[in-house]
Structure 1
């Protein structure tokens, strides 16, 4: 069966991708979200490089919450470093995407969320971490 080709009911076979893999349109929603987080981390890292050198930024689909949990689902979380592990700032993709109404608002929410988490970690106000915090303009 090594040479068997699968065909659809019209005998055409499998079609190739609609766009080349390097085209922005071919990226999944999760990959685009990861790119937005990475861009924001890079931007914050340029200003706070020394303070954030030992901080790991990650993206998770959803937070682990107990079945009895009653309250708003968190958008992000700072996990303390234990046992030689670095402090982690986690952004939860699905809750953030569910609250954003478009790509522009998604980027703004990621920016504000990361600024708030970094400010909390450093013991500063969000405005001192990023002067553009909570501003509607990008």
Structure 2
């Protein structure tokens, strides 16, 4: 009599868990989740949100460069939160918001968003030669 052929042993499976049984390690959150954004990226988003709010009312702001810089230069006596420069010699007008001084003065994201918007409004007002209240009627009401 012929004996049945024993089954072949299964091929080893790829490991799906580490040696402690916890599973593969990876990022804490996928890149599209705000948790994965750095503080600088989140701050840049706050500035962009503020600019978009103002561009609806002031379309000429599309020609202005809005920049985020970590800290102002050492030539300042006081620490500014932002600065503006008019256009000159083919360069567009520029508004700069300084990230670290704003972050230091705020406790949470809501306060930071309000202060960023105030800084952007003040710098736009200075650039356009207007009062901040005429740039954004809600300025100073928060």
- Which TM-score band (shorter chain)? 0.7 to 0.9
Q: Supply the distance in 2 between the matched residues of 1:121 and 1:81 (Cα, whole angstroms).
A: 10
Which of the two has higher C-alpha Rg?
A: 2
CA-based RMSD: 1.8
The yes-or-no answer on 1:40 pairing with 2:46 is no
What pairs with 1:36-115 in structure 2 (closer than 5 Å)? 36-49=46-59, 51-66=60-75, 69=76, 71-115=77-121
Give the TM-score taking structure 1 as reference length. 0.81
Deviations 1:53-108 (A, max 9, x none): 32111111111123xx5x32111000232321101000010111011122111011
In the alignment, the residues of structure 2 paired with residue 81 and residue 65 of structure 1 have an alpha-carbon distance, to the nearest angstrom, of 23
What is the CA-CA distance between 1:24 and the residue it aligns to? 1.1
Per the TM alignment, residue 119 of structure 1 is displaced from its structure 2 partner at its CA by 0.9
Q: Of residues 122, 127, 141 in structure 2, which corresponds to 1:121?
A: 127
TM-score, with structure 2 as normaliser: 0.79
Alignment gaps of 5+ in structure 2: 1-19
User: Which residue among 8, 25, 30 is the counterpart of 1:15?
Assistant: 25
Q: 1:119 to 1:93 in 2, by over 3 A?
A: same
